[in-house]
Structure formats: structure tokens, C-alpha cells
Amino acid sequence: MQGLNLIIKPVWLLLIDRMAQNLLGSEYAEYYIVFNLAVVVNIILDIGIQNFSNTGVAANPQFFKVNFKQIVLAKLLLSLLYLIVIFGLGSASGLARNMLIIVSVNQVLVSFVLYFRTNINGLHHYELDSILSVSDKFFGILFCVALYFAGQIGIYWFALAQLTATVLSFGITLFLNLRYWSNIKIDNSVKAFKLSELFKKSIPFALLFALMGLYTRADVMMMKWLLPDALFHCGLYAQSFRLLDAAAMFAMLFSGLLLPMFTRQIHDGQDVRPLTNLASSLLLQVSITVAGAAFLFGEDIMAALYKFGDVDQLRLSASVFGNILLAFIPMSLTFVFSTLLTAKRDLKYLNIFALCALFCNISLNLLLIPKYGSFGASVSSLVTQSVFALLSVWRCFYLFKFKIQFSNALRYLAFIVILIGVFTFIKGIDNIWLTLAIYAISALVLVFSLKLIEVRQILNTFKLSKQ
């Protein structure tokens, strides 16, 4: 099921979304600015309810039964507030109203789909949740392909295709939630929250979600405010960020699965170290390999994917790409260790860490963007993600008494050095896709040769997590 996610979502990002940018140019850059504003303001749609509900349902299915109606009502009220805020900010920024309507309504429906999926995930229906996680992108691919062959190529058609796909996913997830809700019997083991209590309980989650969203997505809006040629740099930044989104799919899937698993293990007093070690090892191997490819083959990859006016644009894009994908390494650690801290309900420290990361991001952006444009924003993103990841790792080591195994650290060092050696041998190959295939196969062989991960370890860890 994870393989299904790793096929559908990259197809959307690397084929459909990339083609839209190549075909639509500056129109896509304007859409991307609207989209980033909608995502930054997205905190209003959830205020932490999603993670709060997910941990509650994972610990006891009764939470879903007694709080479902209140949470849906709360999200409806928040959706109304979100629409008011997004239209106010969009009008003040001079953004296209029709695009604001399409994108903001889509974000409202996406928020409901994510909430409905947290209930399915919290009830430990992981396979079904994996399928639902790609449903909107699957429908979106079908609609966009149909529009392409029908000759309906335009930014509004592209946005409407996504909205229609989300409507279908909304209907499916709502139906499943109602069915599961009706099958759960109440035994009074969990009390229902009032709306005021629900909002109060969700505030720490909301603050964390807002801070992380701001330090991840603020770069584009700050480029719009600080640069005279903002559309050029935002478009360039979008090229690399799209590829980061594609790479992060694997890590995000793990995060979604880990939260209910960690919550259950902590609730039952189980040792979280085996699952933490497995998840962090897998994600580090993937992120180091992907980031290494971006850093070493950046110009060739970007030239194969996008159109550039001259060599200077290509080099700038490649340098942005290298920094953005290097940020995938700390992001992968964040997906594991911040998820563990969320399951532990250690939200005070997570919020402090996120606030530090946001301060770092804004400060660096103000310093670097006016002088270096999108490259400065990429440096800021890399440093910011690293700061939050390191603080989260430190906190987990302190709380759960983790210890660094230096033999493993040496194996990872050997992994990186050998991959660089592989690069020196294959960099002369003309075909970039053949080069990347050899590089990826070499990384896979090294993972097993250096015993960075073993199949038996994976099976044993997931057996323990289900007990």
C-alpha cells in the first residue's frame, strides 16, 4: 500500500504538476503564490484537531464515537472563519479572486478528508488509509489527463480538476466514517468534549501546526514581498519544492502510520525504541540517497525536467534544488522524532522548538532573500529544518534515554563516502536517467552490504508494534 502511494503521488508532482508549470509559466507562478497563502492560513481549518483526534482514537476507539459530531461542527465553524480570513488576505495582496475561491474551497475539503482519514488511521485500518491517501491525486491525474487531451489547458482548469478530485475523496471518506461510527458501541469509557473544551485541548496542537506551517511555507510569501522579480524566483523555487514534496511522500507516509503506533505503545507502556530505530534508519537511508542525488546531479536533473532560458538560470535552479533536497534529511528525522513527541503529548517543547525554527527562518529570509533571491530562501529552509530536527532529536534522546550507536554512525559515514565514490565513476554517462538508476541500485546494495537495515528487523519491529 505504501508502494501505491509512492507511485501515484510522484506521478502527480513530477508529471502532472510539472507539466502544468512548463505549459503555463507565469500563470502557474501566480497560482503557486495563492496556493502557498492558502496552505499557510490552513491552520485555521484545523487548530490541531486532527492530531488531537488521531491520538485520542488510537488510544481508544470510543473517542471517535462520542466526539465525531462535535468535531465536525467545530470544523464547519473553522471553515467559515478560514474563508473570511483567506479572502481578506488575498484581496489585500491583490490576488485573483476566482483562483482564491477554487483553492480555498479545495483546502476546506482537504481538511475534512484529512480529519476523516485520521479516524480511519486511528482505528488501525492502515491499508485502507493508504489507499485513501492517494485517492484525490488519483482522481486528479485522471481529470487532468482528460483535460489535456480535450485541449482544455489553463490554470483554472488545472485548479478545478483538483477541486473535483477532492470532492470525490470527501464523499468516500465521509461514507466510511459514518459506517465505522455506527458500528462502535458506547461503553462510557470516554466522555464527549464540549466545543469549548475541544478548542482548548487542541490549542497546543494548533500552535505547533501553525508554527511548522509558517517556517515551511513562508519563503514564497516573503519572496513575493521582498523581491521585484518575485514571479521568477517563486517559479524557480516551486520547481525544487515540488521535487521535495515528491521525495517527502515516503517520510510523510511513515509519519501518518507512526503516530497511532507510538500512541498505542506509550499508552500500553511498551518500548518505543525498536520502532523509532527502524523508522529513523529507513528514512535516513532514503533521504541521504535522494539528497545526495540532488546535490551531485542537480544540473542534469533540472535540465531534464524543466525548460530554462539560459545556463545561468539552470545553475541557479540547480543550486536551489541542492539546498532544498538537502533539507529532506532533517525533515526525515522530524517526521519520526516530532511524531514521537506528539504521541508523548510533549507539545510544550515542540512548540518552543518550532518557535525557534520560525524565528530562524524569518531572520535568515530577511537577510538572504533581498541579496540572493530564491537561493537565499533555499539556504534559510535548509538551516531552519535542521534546527527543528536537531532540537526534536535531542528532546527524544533525553526523554526516552536513547543512545547513539557509534558503529551505526560509522556505517552511515561509509555509506555517504561510497556513494560519492560511485558518483565519480558514473558522472560521465550522458543519460541522466541511466546514471540515476545506477546510483539508486548502488545505494540499495550498500544498504544491505553495510547492514544498515535487515528484513528480519523490519518484521520483528512491526510484530511488536501490533502486540
pLDDT digits (tens, 9 = 90+) for 109-149: 998 998 888 888 777 777 787 788 888 888 888 888 888 88
Instruction: Please check whether residue 11 lies inside any domain of the structure.
Output: yes
> Which of residues 340 and 74 earns the better pLDDT score?
340
Q: How many CB atoms lie within 10 A of CB 457?
A: 15
142, 171, 193 — which closes off a domain? 193
Same domain? For 141 and 255 the reply is no
Same domain? For 442 and 328 the reply is yes
CA–CA separation, 256 vs 213, rounded Å?
17
pLDDT digits (tens, 9 = 90+) for 138-158: 888 888 888 888 877 788 888
Instruction: Please check whether residue 223 lies inside any domain of the structure.
Output: no
CA–CA separation, 233 vs 112, rounded Å?
32
Q: Can you give the three-state secondary structure of 350-379, one letter per residue?
A: HHHHHHHHHHHHHHHHHHHHHHHCHHHHHH
Range of the domain at 151: 1-193
> Vertex 165, ends 164 and 169: CA angle to 5°?
120
Distances from the Cα of 223 to the Cα of 240, 294, 377, angstroms: 15, 23, 8
Same domain? For 46 and 145 the reply is yes
Largest CA distance in the chain: 68
Closest CA to 241 of 310, 152, 302, 180: 302
Same domain? For 342 and 461 the reply is yes
Instruction: Please check whether residue 209 lies inside any domain of the structure.
Output: no
Instruction: Please check whether residue 220 lies inside any domain of the structure.
Output: no
What is the pLDDT at residue 360? 93
What is the pLDDT at residue 361? 92
Same domain? For 273 and 414 the reply is yes
Same domain? For 307 and 364 the reply is yes
138, 173, 193 — which closes off a domain? 193
Indicate if the pLDDT at residue 385 is higher than 90.
yes
Instruction: Please check whether residue 212 lies inside any domain of the structure.
Output: no
CA–CA separation, 139 vs 135, rounded Å?
6
Same domain? For 188 and 239 the reply is no
What is the pLDDT at residue 191? 62
Predicted TM-score of the model (pTM): 0.74
What is the pLDDT at residue 461? 56
Instruction: Please check whether residue 28 lies inside any domain of the structure.
Output: yes
Mean pLDDT throughout 228-243?
82
pLDDT digits (tens, 9 = 90+) for 13-70: 777 777 777 777 677 777 877 887 887 777 777 666 776 676 677 667 777 777 788 8
Same domain? For 1 and 96 the reply is yes
Grid coordinates given for 333:
528525522
What is the pLDDT at residue 108? 92
pLDDT digits (tens, 9 = 90+) for 395-443: 999 988 888 888 888 999 999 999 999 998 898 888 888 999 999 999 9
Burial class (CB in 10 A: 0-12, 13-18, 19+), 346: middle
Instruction: Please check whether residue 249 lies inside any domain of the structure.
Output: yes
The overall average pLDDT reported for the chain is: 83
Query: Domain total for the chain?
Result: 2
Structure letter (DSSP) for residue 12? I
What is the pLDDT at residue 115? 86
Give the ranges where 123-229 is alpha helix by DSSP (H).
126-132, 135-149, 155-183, 195-226
292, 281 Cβ separation under 8 angstroms: no
> Which of residues 459 and 257 earns the better pLDDT score?
257
> Which of residues 63 and 314 earns the better pLDDT score?
314
What is the pLDDT at residue 293? 92
Same domain? For 89 and 134 the reply is yes
DSSP E strand stretches across 235-383: none
Same domain? For 412 and 281 the reply is yes
What is the pLDDT at residue 178? 87
Indicate if the pLDDT at residue 463 is higher than 70.
no
What is the pLDDT at residue 448? 85
Instruction: Please check whether residue 205 lies inside any domain of the structure.
Output: no
Grid coordinates given for 292:
545526495
Same domain? For 186 and 291 the reply is no
Same domain? For 137 and 250 the reply is no
